[in-house]
Chain A
Amino acid sequence: MKVRSASPAIRGRHLGKLLAGIAAFALVAVMTILGRPSVASAAPQTTGTDSGSYIPRAQYLSPVAMTLSADGRWLYIACEDSDLVLAVDTRSQKVERRVHVGRMPRGIALSPDGKTLYVSNEDSNDVTEIYAETFQVRRTLPAGWGPVGLTTDRTGNVLYVANTLGDDISLVDLKSGREFKRLDAGHYPEYVTLSRDGGRVYVTNLLARVAPVDQPPVSELTVIDTVHQIVAARVDVPGVIQMRHITELPATAGGYLLVPFMRPKNLNPLVQIQQGWYLTHGMAVIRPAAAADGLKNYHVTEVLLDDIDRYYADGFGVAATPDGRWALVTASGANVVSVVDTTRLRHLLLRTPPARQQELANRLDSASHFVVQRLPAGRNPTDAVTSPDDRFAYIANRMDDTVSVVDMRRMKIASTIDLGGPKEISRQRSGERLFFNASHCYQGQMACATCHPHEGLSDGLAWSLETPQLGRDVVENRTLFGIDGTSPFKWNGKNPNLQTQDGPRTAMYIFRSQGFSPKEVNDLVTYIHSLQLPRNPHLASNGQLTDTQARGRAIFFRDRTTDDRLIPPLDRCYTCHSPLTHYTSRVLMDVGTATPYDTIRAFDVPQLEGVITRPPYLHNGEALELEDIWTIFNPEDKHGITSDLNKAQLNDLIEFLKTL
């Protein structure tokens, strides 16, 4: 294993070698002096941060999910940053009730009888059940890892919960309050809706299936048969990621499912930004299968919501008026709500010959045919709901703590409801606003959140970002969760801090526009440093490892092979992935994973905390699973000595890594 310095200031080969040697020596010395972490602690306290002092997250509300009572009187709002659910009287447009729920509420659903609210708590991995009338918590229901979207079936007996980090869907019996089944979803399932006929639950998945990085992404719409409570279909939605909310138009309006998405162009080198070379934003129009064909045949058409010269970044919420005449799609990065005339949309689909329907996915002049209004919303509009009488729509503005009220007859924003969040904007909140705002990019094409969805996640794609070597150095996107203290940044380690990463270089080479001011960069960095890893259910609350995990841990910290040969220090897992520094050594390492398409051989050692949540792996995303790292991409033991490990031992190692 070869070690190289990450310092961008150092260019001389000899100096680099010298520093590499010093770094390696220092790593080994530190490990020797400080010893290994205690057996009981799987995730020892790490040291060192890039951000300095910790800035607590202010209690902003951040409304992110809404539902309306059947009569349209009450608007129920889940506020992810305050752990609150609010009830707004739509007549007075005032917050009348509030109730504390679990940590980070992200989804909300109403029972068919309108008496019970269900709120998913992503960070506490459960669902809060609330009496809608009294706004009192009735009980807490179980869910999987990172619950977001949820719905009941038509009977109100079963709750379907999309567990975004667990890649599955919990089915909860609402009589017993117990989870009785869990179904595999796609990758990062987030939003859920019940079909109008009650026969299906549709689940969108935020990220594409993990697949070879040289292929366009394919995302999944997971369809659950509510009668048999099985997955009836896994619908391919090709070329897209970040499918968000779903709405189903009534049969009179074509019966389509509408799902906002982003179409990445990660395989193209980023030569230019205009004309959709980076990415575009649009909407899947999915015609559901008839029940007679076993719910399996879905017809997917993709249309763009962007214009030729102006983009509507990060589609998020979608809602149709009950008559199906209009659909509203929020562009969370553009602070805009696009109003879709569904009749015109349907006509466009019908008059486009089947052979040319695929073209619609890349046509930037289509939206002008069916988008009739671009309404200005507040900051970071997320969820959208429509009133039962077709008169109003409500838009949750996450970064404003407000709700925009749309008068659907006049097609205008009629009013804005202040939900009462703090009026003082902290640096962190300012940075969070910037993170979601695409206005700093050319034509408003993308925000930070565009490629780091779910508030900082990696989009799971490998991008061809670097010039001047077009088509070279394709690298996997990286997470922003828990990166404080893991500098340098980028796979080539060229950015010593986030200020460098997010400053002028981002403006010049990514946004191709003005970018952020120095103050804005600092605010943004403050926000990014605040992003914490999600709670990890693979590790027991007392930190005690299972037998399997403990065996895996022993492998991770071993210094002798299975046949008792001494493993050189630089070939041990824990040397480069040091638990003292977030399981990274913060230097560049050549572990034999470079391909002929890479112009460098050594890459920044990634931190391992939260590693299970972010496949694929290695700098270019070639390893689709953790095991591939050792069984496929480490043939000469350059990436630590692993060739002596059998399948069972690798499984143990993986089980340990899941706990990080």
Chain B
Amino acid sequence: MKSFWSALVAGFFVALCTMYGASGATEASFASTESVHSTLLPAIAFIEAPVVMAGDLTQRFPQGSRLVRMTPGVQPSSLIPLTPEFFAAADPQVSFDGTRILFSAQQTKGASWQIWEMAVDGSGLRQITHCPRDCLKPAYLPQNQIVYTSVRGQGAQRASAVYVCQENGEGVHPITFGPGNFQMETVLHSGRILVSAESPLLAASSPRRSRTLFTLRPDGSGMALLRDEATTNQNRTGAVELADGTILFLESKKAAADAAGGQLAWIHPGTLRASILTGPSSVYGSAAQLQAATLVVAKENSARPSNRNFNLYAFDLAGKSLGDVLYRNAKASSVQAVPLVPHALPQIYWSILHPTAQTGRILCLDSYVSKDALNGRLAGRIAKVRVLTLDQPGNLERIVGDAPVESDGSFYATVPADIPIRFELMGPKGEILHAQRSWIWVRNGEDRGCQGCHDSPSFAPANHFPQALRRFDTPTPLGGALQAQHLMHP
């Protein structure tokens, strides 16, 4: 059976190669191109752009860009432009059945970015989103949905969040609800969504802050750090999941505003820490799994900003080494390559949120648990937990309420849904013992659990019935439906 599928996939590749190779709709508008590779590899789609910039998602291709399709090993003349009617295109993603491409594009210079879809041969172009500002970095979800990044506002108010809608563009709704400039990264096989955001998730956003990886469910519940290592001065983005569950991404010591790429790094399913695959002098602009042991990567050809140019290479995962060049254009960068092949449908996640609920609930098993503390436990006696929120606009912090903390460190409270919240652990005299920095949220009807106030994803909880659940007056209601006038200033 395995060989049957291998043959089928190989046949599919050959058919694609033949089809595209025979097409007369080829173009090589960028001079000095080169495509080298003799092994049979799947066709790819990628973004070609004269200039690639770091920072704001909407400003990555200031001189425009195009989505093209190519079969490695075939001469450059086979390069097929797919978006001739757009000023810029970006972020191609291939549907699970391998027949369609989802991408973001700008019709004219200065126009807003929207999400579009077409068949892999460029036919059937259609606009999915009609965002008031910019929508980029889309990905397919199971059950005919897509997820993408929405960028809004100007200056200090500029922020990004992640949204979900139907493939026909209807049913638009956010799934991130706090500060941090969330951006879509990829959909994981488990059905979770991998996003990146500034770390910590502070109200005062800054493009110079570190960016790291978080996971959440497609309904926006269960947002958590992918891993817990400190990410000071680290920028993690461009993440994809490999077939074995490893998360591959670009890591740069530069802040997001300055990093158009980084070193290749990965986190395996069983490891807490990321490890770097490539040397510090190499800068990569994107990576995706091409075959079982091969990536297609965009690697910068020069460290000089004036001559920044990314070319496409094969990358051998086993040897952690750069392989043959797949496509090179001396006058343009080639980035964001994705193989035009079917890939596994992620697990469907059935949301158990309650659409009409105004609140969610937080259950903390042991608020003394903290990876920041010596021996993993906070000192002092925790008497209560204070929940705060951000009052928009102005980022004014307000108190939602206080809930008692039991002697085993557990607490159980109801909090308003879909607003930023953070926690402060307080002693018997009201002194703040420990304050959470990042803003998180609880979705409507979500039961959100945490082991402690800063627990590690590498620890499973102890088997213990929390005292907070023995009480009959929990969950402690905090904030109600959050009428602003009911809240107190801290």
Give A contacts to B, CB under 8 Å.
214, 216-217, 239, 263-269, 271-272, 274-277, 280, 304, 307-310, 359, 362-365, 367-368, 371, 442-443, 464, 467-468, 470-472, 504, 507-509, 512-515, 596
Contacts and interface: CB of A to CB of B under 8 A. Distances in A.
B470 interface: yes
Contacts of B232: none
21 contacts: A263-B463, A265-B460, A267-B463, A268-B463, A268-B464, A269-B363, A269-B449, A275-B459, A276-B460, A277-B460, A304-B460, A308-B227, A364-B458, A364-B459, A365-B458, A443-B190, A470-B361, A470-B412, A471-B465, A513-B347, A515-B350
Contacts of A266: 463
Given A268-B461, A363-B459, A364-B457, 15 more contacts: A214-B465, A269-B466, A274-B222, A275-B459, A308-B269, A308-B272, A308-B458, A310-B245, A364-B270, A368-B271, A442-B190, A508-B350, A512-B349, A513-B348, A514-B349
Nearest to B246: A309
B31 interface: no
A470 B468 CA distance: 10
B271 A365 contact: yes
Contacts of A217: 463
B191 interface: yes
Interface string B448-490: 1101000001111111111001101001000000000000000
Nearest to B227: A308
Contacts of B475: 470
Listed residue (A263, A363, A365, A508) with the most chain B CB atoms within 10 angstroms of its CB: A365
B447 interface: yes
A437 to B, nearest CB: 14
Interface in B268-291: 268-272
A187 to B, nearest CB: 18
Given A467-B352, A514-B191, A364 B469 contact: no
A315 to B, nearest CB: 15
Interface residues of B, number: 39
A266 B352 CA distance: 21
B460 A470 contact: no
Top 3 A-B pairs ranked by shortest CB distance? Answer: A276-B460, A471-B469, A307-B270
B190 A309 contact: yes
A442 B191 contact: yes
Given A309-B190, A363-B459, A467-B352, A271 B347 contact: no
B463 to A, nearest CB: 4
Listed residue (A359, A364, A367) with the most chain B CB atoms within 10 angstroms of its CB: A364
B264 interface: no
A458 to B, nearest CB: 18
B449 A364 contact: no
Given A309-B245, A514-B348, A596-B472, A468 B191 contact: no
Contact of B447 (A308, A310, A470): A470
Given A271-B448, A276-B461, A365-B458, A308 B270 contact: yes
Given A265-B460, A309-B190, A272 B270 contact: no
Nearest to B346: A514
A472 B466 CA distance: 12
A365 B191 CA distance: 22
A127 B272 CA distance: 48
A471 B449 contact: no
B463 A468 contact: no
Given A310-B245, A470-B412, A275 B469 contact: no
A470 B463 CA distance: 15
B387 interface: no
B365 interface: yes
A275 B451 contact: yes
Listed residue (B350, B412, B445, B470) with the most chain A CB atoms within 10 angstroms of its CB: B350
Contacts of A467: 352, 447
B472 to A, nearest CB: 7
Nearest to A371: B270
A364 to B, nearest CB: 5
Contacts of B365: 268
B355 to A, nearest CB: 14
Contacts of A264: 463
A275 B245 contact: no
Interface string B420-454: 00000000000000000000000001011101000
Contact of A267 (B361, B412, B451, B464): B464
A302 to B, nearest CB: 11
Contact of B460 (A271, A280, A508): A280
Contacts of A359: 459
Nearest to A471: B469
A413 to B, nearest CB: 12
A275 B460 contact: yes
A470 B469 contact: yes
Contacts of A309: 190, 245, 269-270
Contact of B469 (A269, A371, A468, A507): A269
